Amino acid sequence: MPFQNQSFDLSLFAGSAHHFSDEEFFSVILEMKRVSRKHLVVADIALTDNLNKFQKFIYHLDRGKMIRHWRDIEHLLARLLGVKIESKNFYRTFPGIYCHVVFVLGIVSEEREI
């Protein structure tokens, strides 16, 4: 992104992570961290342990081919150095078909990723 380091208090990545490979997703998060001073917010649809057949069918129709289980998203975010997952919240769309997970990450240091 054409912004200086720490240009914003917060960066938001919403509703599109399931269209990115793990490597692309991690690259986006690294760039968000670079331009943010305080927080990152990552929100996307996520798989859960108790999807019914209809929900599985609807998820299958989505054009995003990287719909992850919420634990897999959490695992990717936990790889980031210098951030801490401050909160994790779940929401369902009406009438409860999609599950959305929202992670709020706090920037705690300027460490570099390995």
Percent of the chain with pLDDT over 70: 94
Q: Look at the chain and report how many structural domains it folds into.
A: 1
Residue 25 lies in a domain: yes
Residue 83 lies in a domain: yes
- One-character DSSP codes across 33-99: HHHEEEEEEEEEE-B-TT--HHHHHHHHHSS-S---BHHHHHHHHHT-TTEEEEEEEEEE-TTS--E
Whole-model pTM over 0.85: yes
Residue 113 lies in a domain: no
Query: Is it the case that residue 114 has pLDDT exceeding 50?
Result: no
Phi, psi of 58 (to 5 degrees): -65, -45
As a whole number of angstroms, the distance between CA 9 and CA 19 comes to: 25
Residue 45 lies in a domain: yes
Contact present, 66 and 18 (Cβ < 8 Å): yes
Quote the mean pLDDT of the chain: 92
Residue 1 lies in a domain: no
Tens-place pLDDT, residues 75-91: 999 999 999 999 999 99
77, two tokens: 């975010």
Residue 13 lies in a domain: yes
pLDDT at position 104: 98
Domain range for 81: 8-107
Q: Tokens 């709020």 sit at which residue?
A: 104
Residue 97 lies in a domain: yes
Tens-place pLDDT, residues 5-28: 999 999 999 999 999 999 999 999
101, two tokens: 């997970």
Three-point CA angle 19, 25, 26, nearest 5°? 170
Residue 96 lies in a domain: yes
The CATH number that applies at residue 42 is 3.40.50.150
pLDDT at position 94: 79
